[in-house]
Amino acid sequence: MDEIVLKVEGVGKKYIISHENHAGSYTALRDVISNKAKSILKRGSKQLPKEEFWALRDVSFEIRKGDAVGIIGRNGAGKSTLLKILSRITEPTKGRIEINGRVASLLEVGTGFHPELTGRENIFLNGAILGMSRLEIRRKFDEIVEFSGVEKFLDTPVKRYSSGMYVRLAFAVAAHLEPEILVVDEVLAVGDAEFQKKCLGKMEDVSKKEGRTVLFVSHNMGAVASLCNNAILLNRGEVEGFGPASSIIKSYFSSSSNSAYSFDLKHSAVKHGDDIVELLSGQLHDSAGNAKGTYKIDEEFNLTLKYKIKKSISASVVPNIQILNAQGECLFVCNGQDVQSLPEGEYAAKCTFPQNFLNDGLHFVVIAFITYYSTNYEHNFVLKNAMAFEIIDKLHDNPLRYNYVGPMPGYIRPNLMFKVSKI
C-alpha cells in the first residue's frame, strides 16, 4: 500500500466577523476616523454585532506519497484557508492533521522571506526552516539560482525585488530543497507564461520522477488537468468531490442547473454581456441534439450558443470561441457569422466540429463576443472556463495501431491517408 503522507480528519476553521451597522448610509473618511477615535475612547464599551463564519467545515481526505493533487473551487471556497492550515500558518478550529515529512509552501509573494536579507541569505534561511543542513543547501544552491534566473541580484535585499523576481526565487527554493510535500497557491500567476510553464514542469518532476507530493491550488483548469492525477473540489468550505482530476474538473464546471457541457444564464442572477449583447446559454451536443460532454474521435459534434442582441448597431456582433487543451494551450480560435449586423432579438449560433479533428483528452471552451466596426473592433466580454468536454480515443483496440498504446502525440488527429502508387 502506498504511504499516506497527509491525513486530514474533520478539519474546520471558524472566524468571528464584526459588523458595524451604517444603515446603508454613505460614510466619509472623516466619519471613519471619528468612529475609530470614539471606539478607542470608549474602550470597548459598545460591542459590535458579531457573526461566526466557517471558512472550512468537516474537511477530510488522505493524500499518498507521490500524488499531485489539485485543489480547486470558486472564489471563497476555502482553498487558501486549507493551504494555510496544511502549512501550519494558522491552526484549525477543530479536527486534526497528520503530516509525514517536511512541507515547503509558496502561498503568496513574500511568504517565508525576510525582506532585509539578500536572495542568497534567504535561500539558506528557508533551507534551515525546512530542517536542512548548510551542506545540503549548498549542494542544491546552484540549481536554485539557475532555475530562478536572479543570479545578478543574488546579493540584493529581496525587498528590492519585483513581484516576479520574488516568486521566481521563492518557487525555486521551495521546489529544490527536497520537501516531502510541496504546497503551491495561485501565486505562480504573478510570473510570466514561460516561467509558469517551467514551474509546472518542475512540479511534474517533483511528483512523477522524485516521488514527492504536490498540492496545487489554481483557477487554471488546464494546468490542474496537466499536472495533477487527483483533485479536491471545495465549495463553501466543504469537500464536494475528491478523485481523478478529469472527473473533478468536470464537476467544477457543474452546478444545480448547469453541467460541464451545458449552461443556462437566462434566468440567472449572474449575467455575461454588456449594453450590446448578452450570452443566454451554451451547449455541446451531438448531431441528434443530445447534450453530452464526451465524444469519440471519429464523432461529429456541435457547440450552440444562444444570445440576445440588446440594441441594433451598424456593426457585426460576432460570437468567438477558443478551444484549449488539457495543458491550457489554445488550439485554435473560431469566430464568424454570415451577416454584418443584426436587429434586436435572440439568436442561436452553431459551430460544428468535424470528425477526426481533435486529439483525445480533456478540452476547455472560452467564450467571447466581439463587435467588428468598419475600421476597428471591441471585445464585449470573455467567459473563461465556460465548458469542458472530453475526446475519447476509441482506437486503442484497433489492429492498425498494432502494439502502440497510450495517447497519440500532437494537438489534433486528422485522419489523413497516404495514397500509394507504384513508380
Same-domain check for residues 191 and 292:
no
**Residue 93 domain boundaries:** 4-21+50-253
Strands 68-72 and 361-372 come out as: unpaired
Q: What is the pLDDT of residues 236-263, one digit of tens each?
A: 899 999 999 888 888 887 765 567 899 9
- Alpha carbon distance 385, 337 (integer Å): 23
Whether 27 is in a domain gets the answer: no
Strands 230-235 and 238-244 come out as: antiparallel
- Alpha carbon distance 94, 12 (integer Å): 5
- Domain of 224, CATH number, reads 3.40.50.300
Same-domain check for residues 11 and 131:
yes
- Alpha carbon distance 45, 33 (integer Å): 18
Judge whether residue 52 has pLDDT over 70. Answer: yes
Q: In which element (H, E) is residue 167 found?
A: helix 163-176
Whether 422 is in a domain gets the answer: no
- Alpha carbon distance 337, 100 (integer Å): 57
- Alpha carbon distance 191, 364 (integer Å): 23
Same-domain check for residues 268 and 224:
no
Same-domain check for residues 133 and 77:
yes
Whether 399 is in a domain gets the answer: no
Last residue of a domain, one of 218, 235, 253: 253
Which of 26-40, 60-74, 289-303, 358-372 has the weakest average pLDDT?
Answer: 26-40
Burial 249-259 (b: 16+ CB within 10 A, else e): bbbbbbeeebb
Whether 32 is in a domain gets the answer: no
Angle formed by the axes of helices 119-129 and 163-176, nearest 10°: 40
Same-domain check for residues 280 and 175:
no
Last residue of a domain, one of 212, 236, 253: 253
* CA 131, 136, 137, 143 torsion-angle sign: negative
Q: Given this model, what pLDDT does residue 43 score?
A: 57
Whether 41 is in a domain gets the answer: no
* HSE-CB of 315 using CA atoms within 13 angstroms: 19
Same-domain check for residues 201 and 313:
no
Name the more confident of 201 and 230.
230
Q: Given this model, what pLDDT does residue 260 score?
A: 84
Whether 271 is in a domain gets the answer: yes
- Alpha carbon distance 391, 355 (integer Å): 11
- Alpha carbon distance 150, 169 (integer Å): 7
Mean per-residue pLDDT of the chain: 84
Judge whether residue 321 has pLDDT over 60. Answer: yes
Q: Report the SS3 class of residue 85.
A: helix
Q: Given this model, what pLDDT does residue 347 score?
A: 93
Among 153, 175, 170, 173, which residue's Cα sits nearest to residue 110? Answer: 170
Same-domain check for residues 124 and 240:
yes
4's grid cell: 499516506
- Alpha carbon distance 329, 223 (integer Å): 9
Strands 377-392 and 361-372 come out as: antiparallel
Highest mean pLDDT among 41-45, 48-52, 74-78, 114-118: 114-118
Same-domain check for residues 144 and 242:
yes
Among 199, 261, 189, which residue's Cα sits nearest to residue 226? Answer: 199
List all residues 6 or more positions away from 399 whose beta carbon is below 8 Å from its beta carbon.
none
Same-domain check for residues 135 and 240:
yes
> Percent of the chain at pLDDT above 70?
84
List all residues 6 or more positions away from 294 whose beta carbon is below 8 Å from its beta carbon.
389, 390, 391, 392
Judge whether residue 200 has pLDDT over 60. Answer: yes
Number of domains in the chain: 2
Measured CA to CA in angstroms, residue 127 lies from 140, 233, 319, 418 at distances of 10, 32, 51, 58
pTM comes to 0.71
- Alpha carbon distance 389, 229 (integer Å): 18
Same-domain check for residues 135 and 13:
yes
- Domain of 357, CATH number, reads 2.70.50.60
Same-domain check for residues 93 and 182:
yes
